[in-house]
């Protein structure tokens, strides 16, 4: 099964209340899953990686074997592509987990998209924060 994953993380403040959001589309562009997760107080980069992991885990559960990931976080995309180093020690376990998940797909790609093209995942990450209530 082929799927497209849009993922985004949000933190209000850096660090601050944070959420992860992802939307999984089937090969015909239909939404098959919308995911949100409140992360507590953390950084935007942790939220971005958490959103990627959230979406990849759901894709695995649904039997996807061909995944096309799209994110507006250039940092996460370039680190996952091996073009940028992962310097912050807190990011390494998240990057390793995301990399393992991504590698588990028969066919995979990850690319940077403009923020406007990632609006649904952005809304889901913010919904996770909103639904958690005041910090």
**DSSP β-ladder status, 107-112 and 2-11:** unpaired
What tokens were used for 43?
Answer: 């950084």
Average pLDDT value for residue range 26-35: 97
Question: How far is residue 115 CA from its own chain's centroid?
Answer: 13
Instruction: Give pLDDT, residue 68.
Output: 98
Confidence of residue 5 (pLDDT cuts 50, 70, 90): very high
Instruction: Give pLDDT, residue 135.
Output: 62
pLDDT at 94 over 70: yes
Confidence of residue 109 (pLDDT cuts 50, 70, 90): very high
Tell me the pLDDT tens digit for each residue of 37-81: 999 999 999 999 999 999 999 999 999 999 999 999 999 999 999
Topology classification of domain 2-132: Nucleotidyltransferase; domain 5 (3.30.420)
CB atoms within 10 A of CB 92: 12
pLDDT at 133 over 90: no
Q: What is the pTM of this model?
A: 0.97
Distance CA 96, CA 86 (A): 10
Segments in the chain forming alpha helices (H)? 44-61, 74-80, 91-103, 119-132
Domain positions in the chain: 2-132
């Amino acid at each position: 099964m082929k799927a497209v994953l849009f993922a985004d993380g949000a933190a209000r403040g850096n660090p601050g209340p944070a959420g992860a959001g992802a939307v999984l589309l089937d090969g015909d562009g239909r939404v098959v899953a919308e995911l949100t997760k409140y992360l507590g107080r953390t950084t935007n980069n942790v939220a971005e990686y958490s959103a990627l992991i959230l979406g990849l885990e759901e894709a695995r559960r649904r039997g996807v074997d061909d995944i096309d990931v799209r994110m507006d976080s250039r940092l996460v995309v370039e680190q996952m592509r091996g073009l940028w180093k992962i310097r912050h020690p807190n990011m390494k376990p998240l990057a390793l987990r995301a990399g393992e998940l991504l590698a588990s797909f028969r066919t995979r790609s990850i690319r940077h998209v403009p923020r406007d093209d990632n609006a649904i995942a952005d809304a889901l990450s913010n919904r996770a924060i909103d639904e958690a209530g005041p910090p």
